[in-house]
């Protein structure tokens, strides 16, 4: 089954929520955990137990695992395997982007069957040119996985690149949207090439009508975005939109029960 099909199915069963696993040093401290790989492991595996069977998509942030070296990466590998066993789709938030053989190596790590770092999808950066992502796009297609490509991010520095216009007058972000839409043409119910669009951007400014793919919308909850913001940006139906929350749920740890209850409250907020 292709990624877009699997995503549509799990969202219909669990609701449209992506929960992040971000083992930030501040969160480890607030949970009373040591700032080492053992604390990282306890944090991450508690998250797996709490919402691996609740959320449609779970997004481990690779950088916080990599910061602990090989032991941290080993924890990430276990998290990916355990989340998939729990039925969640795993989006590895690695934001990789490069050219040629290096991009092919990233694709082998995150999108190739048999790699311990391969979840169900990975985040990618297209700002060496959308065409530079071809090795990853090809690997995803071959293995039935997905990618989420950065389009409009909420950090203020992003606008200078993403909203800049080329010689044809088309904004860079719109060119990314259009390229993703071309890859998704004809797919049903959703294509496998998604976009990352911050839920806290003040104005969308791009046309997503031709995307035919999912949209990851980080910033929901603690970063300020609300259900009303999501509907303002993406429309009332929110088809294919995955609101993403991390701190708004993770601050309820280390209690597994409290983390699970927080996940359910966020899910319920979409149906009010």
Residue linked to tokens 């950066």 = 125
Return the SS3 of 197. strand
Q: How far is CA 19 from CA 47, 54, 92, 108, 162, in A?
A: 9, 10, 12, 25, 25
Cα of first residue to Cα of last residue in the chain, in angstroms, is: 32
Token couple for 134: 């071809």
- The number of beta carbons lying within 10 Å of the beta carbon of residue 156 is 7
Q: Is 95 a catalytic residue?
A: yes
Task: Identify the active-site residue in 9, 24, 84, 95.
Answer: 95
CB of 193 closer than 8 Å to CB of 184: yes
Cβ-proximal residues to 7 (8 Å cutoff; 6+ apart), any chain = 56, 57, 89, 146, 190, 214
Residue 32: its H or E element: none
Burial of 270: CB neighbours in 10 Å, binned 0-12, 13-18, 19+ = middle
Query: Distance between CA atoms of 103 and 67, rounded to whole angstroms?
Result: 21
Active site residues: 95
């Amino acid at each position: 089954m292709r990624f877009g099909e699997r995503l549509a199915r799990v969202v219909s069963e669990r609701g449209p929520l992506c929960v992040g696993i971000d083992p930030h040093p501040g969160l480890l401290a607030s949970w009373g955990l040591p700032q080492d790989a053992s604390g990282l492991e306890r944090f991450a595996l508690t998250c797996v137990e709490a919402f691996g069977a609740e959320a449609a998509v779970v997004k481990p942030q690779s950088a916080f695992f990599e910061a602990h070296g090989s032991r941290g990466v080993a924890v990430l590998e276990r998290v990916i395997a355990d989340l998939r066993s729990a039925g969640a789709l795993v989006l590895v938030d690695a934001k990789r982007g490069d050219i040629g053989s290096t991009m092919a190596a990233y694709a082998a790590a995150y999108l190739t069957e048999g790699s311990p770092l391969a979840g169900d999808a990975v985040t990618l950066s297209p700002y060496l040119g959308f065409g530079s992502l071809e090795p990853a796009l090809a690997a995803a297609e071959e293995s039935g996985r997905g990618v989420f490509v950065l389009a409009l991010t909420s950090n203020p520095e992003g606008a200078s690149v993403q909203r800049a216009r080329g010689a044809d007058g088309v904004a860079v972000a719109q060119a990314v949207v259009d390229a993703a839409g071309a890859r998704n043409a004809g797919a049903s119910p959703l294509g496998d090439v998604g976009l990352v669009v911050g839920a806290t951007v003040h104005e969308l400014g791009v046309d997503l009508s031709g995307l035919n793919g999912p949209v990851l919308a980080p910033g929901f909850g603690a970063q300020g975005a609300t259900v009303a913001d999501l509907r303002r940006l993406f429309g009332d139906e929110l088809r294919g939109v995955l609101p993403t929350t991390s701190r708004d749920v993770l601050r309820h740890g280390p209690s597994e029960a409290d983390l699970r209850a927080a996940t359910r409250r966020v899910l319920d907020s979409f149906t009010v």
